[in-house]
Structure 1
Amino acid sequence: MKKLNISLFIPLIMIILTACGSNEDAKKNGDSKDSSSSGAKKEYHLIEDGKLTFAASGEFKPFSYMEGNKMVGYDIAVGEAIAEKLGLEPNPQKAAFSGIVTGVVEGRYDIAVASHTITEERLKQVNFTTPYYYSGPVIYTRPDSNIHSADDLKGKEVSVARGTSYLEIAQQYTKNIPQVDSDVVALQSLASGHHDAVITDDITGQNAIDSGLKIENRGYLGVSEQGIAVNKENKALLNAVNQALQEMLDSGELAKLAEKWNGVDITKKPEKNE
């Protein structure tokens, strides 16, 4: 009887030991994964642990604008999607456009998802991801204006949003360039009888027209690439955001977000200038 009990007891001990070993291995593997993920996030040098703090102007419909107390739009949706892919909580921050790049440089924001055109001047301050959309600077005037092309801008009063790349474009035609707080403000002023023209993004201008502003598109001035700004010292975060964007582009998620907020897919580079 004793022999029978021992013969049954030994296999039982072996099963228990095997199970314990498996649990320990699984725990170690789990800890290894958590440690690896945590380590990767630490390499990002985030302003706040577990959060991706990104800036946008909140005054650039349909890319970023306010609905009550919440900031929404294409830029915000892209920032939130990137945060999710990085396993972080999205933390959007509203800021004056003219100071956003400086905020990234000084460490107030991890990144800027704020429709920044990639320019040589800005590249001296921050790194940019691959473009997450493409746009075109456009001349907008009132319907009764005698401005019909870029040549007609010479010497005219052309308003642009402060801190945008449109200032450099306007300077090619005139020295009379009032700068205002946002593109929307510039277009509203134009429709109210101020300024001779405004240079801004084609989608923003069309959105203003759709909302009832009496202004017209009088021609494109080229095609621009919009990128996400990242601090030059944060290469790990730059690489991670680029990877997230590529995944969104490959899966079609980025195009769907563009169509949802802008009505068209703006994620593919035009074959030629319009």
Structure 2
Amino acid sequence: MFDHTRYASRLIAVVLSAVLTTGIASAAESVKPVDQVAKLVPDAIRQAGVLRIAVPDIGKPLAYKDGTTLKGMDVDFAKALAEVMGLKPEISLIPFSGALTGLQADKFDISFGEFYVTDERLKVVDFVTDWQDYSSFLALKSSNAKLNQLSDICGKAVGGMAGSAELEMLKTAVPKCTAPGTTVSSFPSVSNAVLALNSGRVAGVLINRSGAQESIRMDQGLTATGEIGGGPCAVAVARNGHSDAMDAAVKAAFEQLMQSGAYAEILKTNDTEYGALKDAAVYKAGATPPKYGF
């Protein structure tokens, strides 16, 4: 996820940032500017010629840094989206918990991050759906914790990513437990969570499925169990005087990528095909969020 219900009250300092000034990712080399999409871009952004994009540092396969190069599904989407709009992508790799506050502070125009669309988030930003995901428990293969659903956390120490919907899901489940000793920890990164697992501080970490898969690729002693929550994820759009136009432009750009085949190519390249959507949907203040499985 990894997106995904509360976010930090202030922007955490950007730990990694990169401005990409050339072409789009190899996963979407065929993408070109599309006039009918570019015409939807707000005048101020079109005249500046730059799309300021936040990409939370979620890790493989969604967003990560390989040497000095940003890679991952979100990075490929960000570059392709800007290209279709006829803009230069200015991409900043930031902590997940700083994404929405960054939009509110006018640091970015849009933010990726696999956000679940919630009533709370719709109070401050708009959303355009672009992918779908669900959550699983990351745990040690040698563990006998048997974490398959939220009720299985009772009596155990578990954790989630700071600012994620998974963390909120865990916190909501705790009061329903009758067994003593149920604790929930917050981790700033997946690597911190894996360290906690390997040291025995937690029995499991609830995380988006793609993040869990990448962790398992890196550590064969890990496994992922359960299919919890799930539903459409979205790009967040800054709410301001031209957000209606930006919502329309982002939606049209994604649908152009879907129709051209570039969307499917990006997912295939990043091994995220399981989360493909057929179209994009806009959610604004007062809209009814999608129904999620949690």
Structure 1 and Structure 2 fold alike (TM over 0.5): yes
- Percent of aligned pairs with the same residue? 25
The corresponding residue for 2:130 is 132
Contact 1:159–1:179, Cα closer than 8 Å, also in 2: yes
Deviations 1:119-156 (A, max 9, x none): 22211111000x21111111122123232222321132
Report the CA distance between 1:267 and its aligned residue: 1.1
The change in CA–CA distance for 1:214 and 1:102 in structure 2 (over 3 A counts) is same
TM-superposed CA distance for 1:195, in Å, is: 0.9
- Paired with 1:257 and 1:57, the residues of 2 have a C-alpha distance of 18
Residue 210 in structure 1 maps to residue 217 in structure 2: yes
- Which ranges in structure 1 are unaligned for 5 or more consecutive residues? 1-35
Q: Which of residues 223, 230, 233 in structure 2 aligns to 1:226?
A: 233
Larger CA deviation: 222-231 vs 81-90:
222-231
The runs of at least 4 consecutive aligned structure 1 residues that moved more than 6 Å come to 36-39
Q: Distance in 1 between matches of 2:224 and 2:37?
A: 49
Cα deviation 1:223-272 (Å, max 9, x = unaligned)? 13210000122211111010000111222221210110125342138xx9
* 2:139 match: 141
2:155 partner letter: G
- Contact 1:140 1:197 survives alignment (8 Å): yes
Provide the residue aligned with 1:95 in structure 2. 94
Name the stretch that deviates more: 110-119 or 157-166: 110-119
Query: How far apart are residue 165 of structure 1 and its match?
Result: 0.7
For 2:169 and 2:269, locate their aligned partners in 1 and report how far apart those are by CA, in whole Å: 29
Corresponding residue of 2:65:
66
1:236 to 245, 252, 256: 245
How far 1:57 moved relative to its partner?
A: 2.0
For 2:45, the equivalent position in structure 1 comes to 46
SS at match of 2:45: coil
TM-score (norm 1): 0.78
| Counterparts of 1:44 and 1:166, CA distance in 2 | 37
Contact (CA 8 Å) 1:85, 1:244: kept in 2 or not?
yes
Q: Shift of the alpha carbon at 1:60?
A: 2.2
Matched to 1:63, the amino acid is L
Amino acid corresponding to residue 201 of structure 2 in structure 1: H
Q: For structure 1, which segment, 166-175 or 72-81, has the greater mean C-alpha deviation from structure 2 after superposition?
A: 166-175
Distance 2:198 2:223 in 1: 10
CA distance in 1, matches of 2:204, 2:115: 22
Check conservation: 1:44, 1:237, Cα contact below 8 A.
no
Work out whether 1:252 is the aligned partner of 2:269: no
For residues 264 and 274 of structure 2, the distance between their equivalents in structure 1, rounded to whole angstroms, comes to 5
Asked whether the equivalents of residues 136 and 209 of structure 2 are also in contact (C-alpha less than 8 Å), the reply is yes
Distance 1:37 1:249 in 2: 13
Residues 38 and 84 in structure 2, CA contact (< 8 A), matched pair in contact too: no
* Deviation per residue, 1:164-188 (Å, 9 max, x gap): 1111211233362211112343134
The letter for the 2-side match of 1:173 is A
AA paired with 1:250? Q
Larger radius of gyration: 1
The answer to whether the Cα contact below 8 Å between 2:38 and 2:249 also exists between their aligned partners in 1 is no
- Does the CA contact (< 8 Å) of 1:51 and 1:89 recur in 2? yes
Is the CA contact (8 Å cut-off) linking 1:127 and 1:232 kept in structure 2? yes
